[in-house]
Amino acid sequence: MQKELITIKDIGRKYVIGTEVIHALKSVSLTINKGEFVALMGPSGSGKSTLMNILGCLDTPTNGQYILNGIDVSRMSDNELAEVRNKEIGFVFQTFNLLPRSTSLDNVALPLIYAGASKKERDARAQKALENVGLGNRVTHKPNELSGGQRQRVAVARALINNPSIILADEPTGNLDTKTSIEIMGLLEEIHSKGNTIILVTHEEDIAQHAHRIVRMRDGLVENDYVNEEVKSVSPRLKAIQESGNDFENIV
């Protein structure tokens, strides 16, 4: 039996702007199991960005319940959410979000500072993470000394450094050319094959086709939620891990 990692029940999110009330999410219910690779899609105004912010503990719902890895995060304070984000979620952003004056090693090690790891441990784990994404020879390079694809690889390594429950990738290929986009998606597929759970937010159909499941949003609701038949079946090893409910061996 697959182990549930994310359960959201009747999630709603409204914003009050002046005299207008905007219902960005109306009533969304969704379950994501450990080891899934899910693409979250939808046009502008569909609610996918709002849902992404809630899934990433960057925002809280107006109503409904969000259980993440057995923890109810629906009504947590900002400080509590920050702690959950650092432990449970690895983010990969379209704009990379790297510190411009810091080396690749220091950028990747940053989440470990908040986790209280020693300098020696931070550097060793960051070095390994960079090696795992093919950048072992770029540890001292700063972002302006790297290509777009290399910067995104640094961001992926940073996302993985704390062995999070989820990798949340928000338009990870949006600033990359086609060739580099394919390389980054190949890297995400490799990470998924190690047993990591990935939620990919994208508006690009060809990028979404890398996911094993596609959730389409429209007007603040889930319009469609289906298995992507274009992707071949899950490997026997990953299927066995998923069904066992055991913790996965992460890439770092």
Q: Is residue 251 part of a domain?
A: no
Q: Is residue 132 part of a domain?
A: yes
Question: Counting Cβ atoms within 10 Å, is residue 81 exposed (0-12), middle (13-18) or buried (19+)?
Answer: middle
162 C-beta neighbours (distance < 10 Å), count: 21
Sign of CA dihedral 202, 34, 184, 128: positive
**Taking a C-beta distance cutoff of 8 angstroms, is the pair 169, 198 a contact?**
yes
Q: Is residue 145 part of a domain?
A: yes
Q: Give the burial string for 227-241 (b: 16+ CB within 10 Å, else e).
A: eeeeeeebeeebeeb
List the domain range (segments joined by +) for residue 141.
4-244
Q: What is the pLDDT of residue 75?
A: 86
Q: What is the pLDDT of residue 65?
A: 96
- Domain total of the chain: 1
Query: pLDDT by residue for the chain (252 residues), tens digit each?
Result: 578 999 999 999 999 998 999 999 999 999 999 999 999 999 888 999 999 999 999 999 999 999 999 999 998 999 999 999 988 999 999 999 999 999 999 999 999 988 888 999 999 999 999 999 999 999 999 999 999 999 999 999 999 999 899 999 999 998 899 999 999 999 999 999 888 999 999 988 999 999 999 999 999 999 999 999 877 544 444 444 445 444 434 444
Q: Is residue 189 part of a domain?
A: yes
Q: What is the pLDDT of residue 116?
A: 86
The domain that holds 203 is classified in CATH as 3.40.50.300
Does pTM top 0.75 for this prediction? Answer: yes
Quick: pLDDT tens for 128-146: 999 999 999 999 999 999 9
Q: What is the pLDDT of residue 233?
A: 44
Q: Is residue 155 part of a domain?
A: yes
Q: For helices 148-160 and 178-193, what crossing angle results, to 10°?
A: 20
**Alpha-carbon distances of 152 from 98, 132, 174, rounded to whole Å:** 9, 13, 11
